[in-house]
Amino acid sequence: MSASILQCMDCGQQYPIDTVIYTCSHCGGLLDVCHDFDSLKDSITHDTFDARLGSLNAPYNSGVWRYKELIYPHVDETHIVSRPEGNTNLYHVPRLAQWAGIETLFLKHEGENPTGSFKDRGMTGGVTQARVLGMQRIACASTGNTSASLASYAAHGGLESIVFFQNKQIAFGKLAQAIAYGATCVQINADFDRNLELVREVADKLGIYVLNSINPFRLEGQKSIIFEILQQLRWQTPDWIVCPGGNLGNSSAFGKALQEAYTLGLIDRMPHLAIIQAEGANPLYQSFRHDFDEYAPMHAETIATAIKIGNPVNYPKAVRTIKWTDGVVEQVSDQEIMDAKALIDAQGIGCEPASACSLAGTRKLCEQGIIQANDTVVGILTGHVLKDPDATINYHSNSLPDITATYPNKLHQAEPSVEEISRILLNATEIAR
Ligand code: F0G
């Protein structure tokens, strides 16, 4: 018998691990991958994971598979598709901490993954499962990053990939990746939420494996963001973990990871999770304000195109995370997102707009007294600065509608004249002082 099963989070119905299924066929609930941790207790220790740090050998050279016992313990390793991902930096950022109103802030940069976003951690889990199941074709609807990751991992693992893009606002870096890595890309005259419905229907009809975050094997991989943060903090628990919320896959994975780490004794207390949504794409925030009694999908609009999502599929798992971690949901405006991004960028770290929710949200929660000045906070940066160059350049040239560049770094124009260039540089240095 396999040591892992799929289980419905609502009715508890179980399915064998090799079933091609995304939601419970009895009640429609979301599925969890559940592992038999009892039989693995002796190997799930700090020492096991610490001994693999710096490994040059697959699969433990991956920041996902280093925690294999927590991700997919009994998988046949010949099926694993890894680039390898993870092993991303945890930056100590005192100047940004001060701006946010706290003493200790770390930023975990998931944009340092092979395709430039955290999706690679989920995709290694999902594409590996596609191979376990013998699926030849994999697909997703995407605001961009999932598509880049799917296309890359499919190519790497010898599978075919298919991407459904929305009609508007695909960041160029992401579209370029999906096309370059060889995915069949279809731009559909619909938004992300509709495309997610469509990809599930088409995949069902044509026997294609869906790798959006409704797929629970994606979330198993994304749990490793939490395990890696804890390990980088020498298994000390921060007070808060703050992340952007779109389709709520990360939020769901983080809750499950923390719950498991706590139950297995890897940490001795739970941190709080704060999920930050853009004001124009905030269905979880609205629901949180009503104690999760109501939930209403919405039409989404935000400059942070990665999280332009109005009907997140993982809503029930995100609610569970907030309850497990005694967490909160906050919203931030596009102005706050772009200003926070400019400050992260100016540290030399950089991120795409959606990622900046973590810093903007931390500051807001601190102003409200929810995060205390002496709390240790880890913010998640989900995507690389190069993913959305238009947003960056338009901000700094102050040409974004309804957004003012509070921290502009203007592009100067000059004739090829030493005098003129010198004048510009002297002025620029004076302004910097
Ligand atoms: N940040 C970035 C950079 C993203 O690409 C996404 C999601 C999120 C945050 C939100 O994460 O869905 O786990 O709450 N991007 C998806 C995509 C939807 O298609 O690339 P979530």
Percent with pLDDT over 90 in the chain: 97
List % helix, strand, coil for the chain (3-state, nearest 5): 45, 15, 40
Nearest ligand 1 atom, CA 146: 20
Distance, CA of 403 to CA of 400 (rounded, Å): 5
pTM: 0.98
110 with 1, same domain: the answer is no
Ligand 1: does its nearest atom lie under 6 Å from the Cβ of 142? yes
pLDDT-based confidence at residue 266 (cuts at 50, 70, 90):
very high
How large is the average pLDDT for residues 85-99? 98
Pair of tokens at residue 123: 């995709």
Strand ordering across the sheet containing 209-210: 184-187, 160-165, 137-142, 209-210
The residue to mutate among 108, 110, 140, 145, having the most atoms of ligand 1 within 8 angstroms of its beta carbon, is 145
Task: Decide if 185 is inside a domain.
Answer: no
Claim to verify: residue 244 and residue 355 sit in the same structural domain: yes
Contact 245 CB / ligand 1 (< 6 Å): yes
- Residue from 117, 223, 313 whose mutation best tests the ligand 1 pocket (most atoms within 8 A of CB): 117
Q: What is the mean pLDDT of residues 275-290?
A: 98
pLDDT band at 167; cut points 50, 70, 90 = confident
C-alpha triplet 220, 117, 30: angle, nearest 5°: 30
Compute, in angstroms, the gap from residue 42 CA to the centroid of ligand 1. Answer: 35
Rounded to the nearest angstrom, the distance between the alpha carbon of 421 and the centre of ligand 1 is 42
Ligand 1 neighbour 354 (Cβ under 6 A): yes
Q: Under a CB-based contact definition with an 8 Å cutoff, are residues 395 and 338 in contact? A: yes
Domain count, the chain: 2
- Please give the single-letter amino acid code of residue 283: P
Together in a domain, 311 and 377: yes
In which domain, by residue range, is 14 found?
A: 1-35
Contact predicate 122/68, CB 8 Å: no
Buried b (16+ CB within 10 A) or exposed e, 16-30: ebeeeebbbeeeebb
The pLDDT, as a whole number, for residue 1 is 40
Q: Please, which pLDDT band fits residue 433 given cuts at 50, 70 and 90? A: low
The tokens describing 162, both together, are: 């298919």
Residue 382 Cα to ligand 1 midpoint, Å, equals 7
Q: Is the CB of 177 under 6 A from ligand 1?
A: no
Residue nearest to atom 11 of ligand 1 (CA): 246
CB 118 within 8 A of CB 147: no
pLDDT value at 431 more than 80: no
What is the pLDDT, as a whole number, of residue 366?
98
Determine which residue's CA is closest to atom 7 belonging to ligand 1. Answer: 306
Q: What is the CA radius of gyration of the chain?
A: 21
CA distance 318 to 327: 10
CA of 135 to the centre of ligand 1 (A): 24
Domain membership flag for residue 51: no
232-255 tens-digit pLDDT: 999 999 999 999 999 999 999 999
Q: Which of 154-163, 168-177, 219-228 has the lowest mean pLDDT?
A: 168-177
Cβ–ligand 1 contact at 352 (below 6 Å): yes
pLDDT number for residue 169: 82
CB-ligand 1 contact for 311 (6 Å cutoff): no
**Same domain for 105 and 18:** no
Atom of ligand 1 nearest to the CA of 244: 9
Please classify residue 263 by burial: count the beta carbons closer than 10 Å to its beta carbon, then call 0-12 exposed, 13-18 middle and 19+ buried.
Answer: exposed
Instruction: Select from 21, 157, 17, 18 the least CA-distant residue to 79.
Output: 157
The total of other beta-carbon atoms located within 10 Å of residue 391's CB is: 24
19-77: pLDDT as tens digits: 999 999 999 999 999 999 999 999 999 999 999 999 999 999 999 999 999 999 999 99
Write down the pLDDT at residue 3: 86
Quick one: which of 10, 7, 5, 2 has its CA closest to 31?
A: 7
Q: Is the pLDDT of residue 417 over 80?
A: yes
Asked if the structure places residue 391 within a domain, the reply is: yes
Protein residue whose Cα sits closest to atom 10 of ligand 1:
246
Q: What is the pLDDT of residue 102?
A: 98
Residue 57 lies in a domain: no
**Residues 21, 111: one domain?**
no
Q: How far is the CA of 355 from the centre of ligand 1 (A)?
A: 9
Do 371 and 293 fall into the same domain?
A: yes
Establish if 361 belongs to a structural domain: yes
What pLDDT does 432 receive? 63
Per-residue CA distances from 423 to 409, 416, 420, 429, 432 (Å): 17, 12, 5, 10, 14
Q: In sequence order, which ranges of 93-211 are alpha helices (DSSP H)?
A: 94-100, 119-133, 145-157, 172-180, 192-206
Residue 165 has pLDDT above 60, yes or no: yes
Residue 54 located in a structural domain: no
* Residues 231 and 342 both lie in one domain: yes
Paired sense of beta strands 376-381 and 240-244, if any:
parallel
Measured at the CA of 383, the angle between CA 379 and CA 386, to 5 degrees, comes to 130
Report if residue 106 sits inside a domain. Answer: yes
d(CA 233, CA 151): 33
Judge whether 261 lies within some domain.
Answer: yes
136 and 159 in contact (C-beta within 8 Å)? yes
Give 248 Cα–ligand 1 centroid separation in angstroms.
8
Q: Residue 310: which of 224, 133, 192, 419 has the closest Cα?
A: 192
- 327: domain CATH number is 3.40.50.1100
- The residue written with tokens 């040409």 in the block is 399
Q: How far is CA 213 from the centre of its chain?
A: 10
Q: What is the mean pLDDT of the chain?
A: 97
